[in-house]
């Protein structure tokens, strides 16, 4: 089932606070891999994100937002996935943010890899200790989204989102909750049902006060009630993934029967959870998104 030609009307209000500082710029595959820094009004700290920009173009280009997993910064995807070749070939701008607020200090934020620093989980925290800064959901769909339009020549009708692990969870949740913003969705080894896994239990209890409150950020629960435009969703999973059985649970998401969502599930024998796996299949994801925009 091909994507429908849906005209998206988006009002982008640009403020004077949306300026960027270029941190680095490297020539790569007929384009530039850049890293920018800016003051985030949502997270109340300085944030970095990567932006791959194909060479000069006359018309607005499609854009993909990539969300990384636990412990990552914006650098992991830039340095390890090899995506730039495909972004250049397909003429797609790629934006990839950091995974959590940086440069702040909250007691306990560095005690474990799966909570706090590097583990924003793409939600808006409600517990007072975390709620001022840990608002990665709003950061991506509001602030970062507007930054794209303020600084790059982006086609609002061809915007997709994808990610890996915690970032795959984020891509599914943000994509399904905001179909007016994201035309296409894919995920590598996503946390598909976080209200039913240890990672999800820990972050929902810590950031939101209860596991039950996390259902609004659970792709399996969101898919059950999804009532937006028809969507194809690419789910990509390595079968030798060390987190597959305990944490990821793609089988729970795949059992959801919603006529408005069609899952393209691609299982990869012998592949694990690493960026070697992502680099192997990243080209298929670009093709999926480009085809979805037609």
Per-residue pLDDT reduced to its tens digit, 106-144: 999 999 999 999 999 999 999 999 999 999 999 999 999
In tens, the pLDDT along 19-37 reads 899 999 999 999 999 999 9
Mind listing the domains of the chain with CATH numbers?
Answer: 20-292 (3.40.50.1820)
pLDDT at 4 over 60: no
Positive or negative, the CA dihedral 148, 154, 157, 162 is: negative
Beta 31-40 vs 93-97: how paired, if at all?
Answer: unpaired
**What span, in angstroms and rounded, lies between the C-alpha atoms of 88 and 282?**
13
pLDDT at 179 > cutoff 60: yes
pTM of the model: 0.93
Q: Is the pLDDT of residue 2 over 60?
A: no
Contact 72, 30 (CB under 8 A): no
Q: Is 241 a catalytic residue?
A: yes
165 a catalytic residue: yes
110 an active-site residue? no
| Residue of 273, 285, 289, 292 with catalytic role | 273
Rounded distance between C-alpha atoms, residue 276 and residue 7, angstroms: 37
Q: Which of 28, 40, 88, 165 is catalytic?
A: 165
Find all residues with CB under 8 Å of 117, minimum gap 6, and list them. Answer: 100, 102, 109, 110
């Amino acid at each position: 089932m091909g994507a429908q030609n849906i005209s998206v009307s988006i009002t982008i209000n640009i403020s004077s606070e949306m300026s960027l500082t270029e941190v680095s710029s490297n020539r790569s595959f007929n384009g530039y891999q850049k890293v920018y820094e800016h003051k985030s009004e949502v997270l109340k700290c300085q944030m970095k994100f990567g932006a791959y920009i194909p060479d000069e173009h006359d018309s607005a280009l499609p854009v993909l937002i990539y969300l990384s997993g636990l412990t990552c910064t914006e650098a992991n995807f830039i340095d390890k996935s090899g995506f730039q070749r495909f972004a250049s070939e397909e003429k797609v701008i790629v934006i990839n943010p950091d995974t959590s607020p940086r440069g702040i200090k909250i007691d306990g934020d560095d005690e474990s890899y799966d909570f706090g620093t590097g583990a924003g989980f793409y939600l808006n925290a409600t517990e007072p200790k975390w709620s001022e800064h840990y608002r990665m959901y709003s950061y991506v769909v509001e602030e970062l989204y507007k930054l794209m339009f303020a600084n790059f020549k982006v086609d609002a009708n061809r915007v997709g989102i994808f990610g890996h692990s915690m970032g795959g969870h984020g891509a599914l949740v943000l994509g399904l909750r905001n179909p007016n913003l994201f035309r296409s969705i894919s995920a590598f080894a996503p946390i598909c049902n976080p209200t039913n896994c240890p990672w999800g239990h820990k972050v929902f209890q810590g950031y939101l006060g209860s596991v039950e409150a996390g259902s609004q950020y659970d792709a399996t629960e969101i898919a059950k009630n999804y009532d937006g435009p028809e969507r194809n969703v690419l789910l990509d999973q390595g079968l030798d993934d060390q987190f597959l059985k305990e944490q990821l649970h793609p089988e729970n998401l795949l059992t959801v029967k919603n006529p408005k969502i069609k899952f393209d599930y691609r299982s990869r024998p012998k592949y694990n959870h690493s960026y070697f796996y992502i680099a192997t299949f990243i080209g298929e994801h670009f093709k999926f998104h480009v085809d979805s925009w037609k």
